[in-house]
Structure 1
Amino acid sequence: MAAKRSLVLHRLTGTLLFLIMSIALPVSPGTFEFAGREYGANVITHPPGYDGRGGNMIVTVGIAPSSTYAAEMVVPIQNAVDTWNNLIPTTENVVREGSNVPAHQFDFESVALHELGHCLGLGHPNLASESGLTGMDRNYTSSTKGADGQFNLASGADAVIGSGDDLRGDDVNLHWFQKSNNNPFSVAERVDQTTYSRDLVDLPPGQSFAANADRNVGRLWGIHDTEAVMQQGIISGEAQRTLTGDDVATLRLAMSGLDRLAGTTDDYTVQLEFVGLSDNADIVFSFDGSRASFAVCEIRAVQIDPLHFTISQGRIYFNANIAWFFNDVPAPTPPKYSTPSPAIFANDIAGSITLQQNDTLKITLSLNPGVYIGKLADYWLRAATPMGVFWLSDRFEFIPSDQPIRAYGGKLFVIDRFPILTIPANQLPLGTYTLTFAVDDNLDGVANGTFQASIDVTITP
């Protein structure tokens, strides 16, 4: 151990690298900084403070006291710091309708969240502007050129760029994917080299390249309005203030340490600490139009072994000539859509409803599984009625029972207004019916009701 430590210290003092990563103005687990350049495709880059030994890394974040908009930056930067600290994956993190961002402005918090990711060591999961490509071609999964000296870009049978059936020739993949499913919107329970890989031989059968968490790829999984924060590009009027599975998995992979195995002594955690106005933090935000045409992260890093770098300093610059929107609302905890969201509707209303006997009652169910998509779980539908308690069985029949009866046991998947019951109201006794749709966070046949939604239906004369 002593010899290894002295080698690390030598490199800390003897090797200094400089890299600029930027978000270009948009025209329309992930990767790591330094990977794929002269240091090889397998490089992993770590946040400030990591030297190969495990523990909790405190990374300070500040705002340059002399910067323009110093006061306006405080709340959105605090929100971005909290988001990375919580490390909670979400879906539907791309918000336009319902966002507080004016249509002609760019959301400072969303861009700050992205740039903080660079300062923690994360790269773009897509080819992005640094590839030299233009337009939609930048959305292909991050790679280097192969022996033929060019990017090979074909979207495959699904015609969606960045998905698992892309045909990329001899391009060298840089994106770490989940071996079991190549789904960048979910996170494996254990995140390390046993569950994630960038070697294409580890892809699931029938897939040809690592998928990235582009919003169009998400639609193939039934996941809408979702895109990795580290994906390059943001649109005016759009907020993207929470992480996806890909963002979380990539940082957690780095946190598995030099041996890339979770649960060993070189594992670490990261805690960002906002220190307010300071030029001396590990990561400092400021506005400087001479350094950024839009927004840019400049990082310095040290090489701690042939396959690992640690960032020593991060400086994030914004251009004041851009129409920025500064969110002044603290981020909710936990973030929306981080967990499964069941919904139950009576006549398309998700709430209390009163029907007369000449009406018809229609019950439908929806489920957004969030990042739990594909996880095994129990499904339950309970109806508390004037005649007693009924449960929907796996034969789609309501059975009277004081004990829970499971409707389904299997993978969590997207459900969109699935019809359960259509019945004339005059066939039901008068009174109030409370229906509860619930899914658990496991598959054990025990009704936990971890995630649930209820409605009340009152039948009147």
Structure 2
Amino acid sequence: MRFNRLYPIHAISLPFMALLWVAPTAAGVFEFAGETNSAGGTNSVDMITHPTGYDGTGGKLIVTVGISPASAHAGEMEISVQNAINTWNRLVPTIANVMTTGNNVPSDHFDFESVALHELGHCMGLAHPNLASESGLAGGDKDYTAATKGANTVFDLDRGADGIIGSSDDMRGDDVNLHWFFKGVNNPFLLPEVIDKTTYSRNLNDLPAGHQYVTNGDRGVSKLFNIEKTEAVMQQGIQAGESQRTLTADDVATLRLGMSGIDMIAGTPDDYTVELQYQGITENAHIVLAFDDKVSFSACRIVGNHINRDEDHIAIQSGEISFNPGVLWFFNQELTVAQSIPDVSISVNDRTDSMLLRQGDNLVLRVALDPGARNGNPADYWVKAMTPIGTFWLNDRLQFVASDTPISVYGGALMNIPSFTFFDSTTQDLPWGTYSVTFAVDDNRDQIYNATFKHAVIFTINP
């Protein structure tokens, strides 16, 4: 059965065979979930889509990726494709991943690497976390959290008191949620240690008290969590001149949720891991990328089979990613390589050593972290300030607390943090003297201040 919507085309053939065209680029949501099938019914809203090769028995999946030899720009595509593959293989959650300045993308071009990263996510089974173009909606309404229409056969859209579409106070009537979320937290920019059905849910009853609907990883929503320029890679809507080359917590969580297997319990025999492998310029791969005239921008076409006739689990058989050659594309030619150990840094007014301030000057403290090869490993994060009036620690509400006992600011996976400002204020009310501020991460998560990797800055405030 085929049917057309505003931009994408979706089609599902036999009850236990599915074919899907995904919308032009723009997690928490899986492909095929809630879609109409060829028998006239509707696929399960609980459907989990798994990468190529998964048969329910667990283990390591190798998914190969190639570039069509007949494609225009085949040679120019290679480095960007390899970078996107490396990014998915690392599964590092990041913040501030939307780069609009300081990147190498011309203002009128679209970043091929960012779009390829998004489309590879589709080809591994991840759908848009927002309603997106396939909903037939226009403008900002496409950014509401992914759902199916309820019994009233229309999308119920009310942005709530905060005026932010896709946030926790949206009123969605009888729309059926498709977005898996962190139970009791509903923050798409955070990850628990364990990701499976014990920590993630689609059920609105598992939302925190006072929350009306599931929050998605839109850049506008990220501001509600005091995080700037952060957006799930799978969210639809990249813009010219910007790059989005790293994943967020929501992207990582959705793929890892699928990796918990048929039983959706982490640590059992049906769990799997995924490794994308670049095969070069060849059609002989599970996923093949090409420039052609099949799409207006970009799209991924996937074919899948239900696993052991389980209506809630489907495995992709093959994927094709198409890009429109008429779009102005930018091809990044800088191959990214992971650091062997985490690189941590802290800066005072954008300096990473020491500086002299006068009382009343502005003070900005920022941290950055490249987790390197240890991405995803459990860690404790610490910010310690030695001041003229004692020792202070930054807590999980980003407030400095006087304490002789260490207080961690966060405990969780090592993630990429290009830049995060945790203090921006005048020094007018700070005592004179010398301050030493240390940013540290441990190589474990035990709430003991090990400071395995650290960096400190020193500044002095004079009258």
Same fold (TM over 0.5): yes
- 2:248 maps to 1:244: yes
Deviations 1:123-148 (A, max 9, x none): 00000010010100000000000001
Structure 2 partner of 1:415: 422
Residue 23 of structure 1 deviates from its aligned partner by 1.1
SS in 2 for 1:22: coil
TM-score normalised by L of structure 2: 0.82
The within-5 A match list for 1:363-378 is 365-366=365-366, 378=382
Deviations 1:311-341 (A, max 9, x none): 0000001111100000001125269xxx997
Residue 435 of structure 1 deviates from its aligned partner by 2.0
Distance 1:130 1:459 in 2: 56
Distance 1:359 1:261 in 2: 55
Structure 2: gaps (5+ residues) = 1-13, 36-41, 412-419
Deviations 1:367-399 (A, max 9, x none): 579999xx975542247x9xxxx9524799999
SS in 2 for 1:175: coil
- 2:450 maps to 1:448: yes
Structure 1 partner of 2:312: 307
The within-5 A match list for 1:344-363 is 344-345=347-348, 348-353=349-354, 355=356
- 2:79 maps to 1:72: no
**Residues 344 and 439, structure 2, Cα contact 8 Å, conserved in 1:** no
Residue 233 of structure 1 deviates from its aligned partner by 1.2
Distance 2:410 2:424 in 1: 18
Alignment match of 1:277 (pick from 275, 281, 289): 281
- 2:224 maps to 1:220: yes
Q: Which moved more, 1:441-450 or 1:113-122?
A: 441-450
Distance 1:107 1:272 in 2: 21
Residues 445 and 40 of structure 1, relative CA distance in 2, 3 Å threshold:
closer
Residues 130 and 14 of structure 1, relative CA distance in 2, 3 Å threshold:
closer
Distance 1:312 1:354 in 2: 58
Residue 47 of structure 1 deviates from its aligned partner by 0.3
Distance 2:400 2:54 in 1: 57
**Residues 409 and 443, structure 1, Cα contact 8 Å, conserved in 2:** no
Structure 2 partner of 1:10: none
Alignment match of 1:202 (pick from 195, 200, 206): 206
SS in 2 for 1:110: helix
Structure 2 partner of 1:35: 33
Alignment match of 1:329 (pick from 325, 328, 334): 334
Equivalent residues, number: 420
**Residues 215 and 226, structure 1, Cα contact 8 Å, conserved in 2:** yes
Structure 1 partner of 2:299: 296
Letter of the 1:326 counterpart: F
SS in 2 for 1:23: coil
- 2:268 maps to 1:261: no
Structure 1 partner of 2:9: none
**Residues 363 and 423, structure 2, Cα contact 8 Å, conserved in 1:** no
Distance 2:249 2:146 in 1: 17
Structure 2 partner of 1:63: 67
Letter of the 2:424 counterpart: R
Letter of the 2:28 counterpart: G
**Residues 393 and 401, structure 2, Cα contact 8 Å, conserved in 1:** no
Residues 398 and 285 of structure 1, relative CA distance in 2, 3 Å threshold:
closer
Structure 2 partner of 1:21: 22
Deviations 1:196-221 (A, max 9, x none): 00010111111011110000110000
SS in 1 for 2:22: strand
Structure 1: gaps (5+ residues) = 1-12
Distance 2:353 2:56 in 1: 56
Letter of the 1:17 counterpart: A
Residues 352 and 306 of structure 1, relative CA distance in 2, 3 Å threshold:
closer
Letter of the 2:151 counterpart: A
Residue 354 of structure 1 deviates from its aligned partner by 5.5
SS in 1 for 2:211: coil
Distance 2:57 2:85 in 1: 24
Residues 78 and 368 of structure 1, relative CA distance in 2, 3 Å threshold:
closer
Residues 200 and 457 of structure 1, relative CA distance in 2, 3 Å threshold:
closer
**Residues 219 and 231, structure 2, Cα contact 8 Å, conserved in 1:** yes
Deviations 1:152-197 (A, max 9, x none): 0001111100011110000000000000310001111100000000
Deviations 1:47-101 (A, max 9, x none): 0000111100000000011111000000000000000000111000000111100
Structure 2 partner of 1:180: 184
Percent sequence identity is: 45
Structure 2 partner of 1:169: 173
Distance 1:264 1:97 in 2: 44
SS in 2 for 1:262: coil
SS in 2 for 1:95: coil
Deviations 1:219-271 (A, max 9, x none): 00001100000011110000000000000000000000000100000000000
SS in 2 for 1:317: strand
**Residues 299 and 314, structure 1, Cα contact 8 Å, conserved in 2:** yes
**Residues 392 and 407, structure 1, Cα contact 8 Å, conserved in 2:** no
Structure 2 partner of 1:392: 391
Distance 2:334 2:343 in 1: 24
Distance 2:229 2:401 in 1: 35
Residue 406 of structure 1 deviates from its aligned partner by 4.1
Letter of the 2:182 counterpart: Q
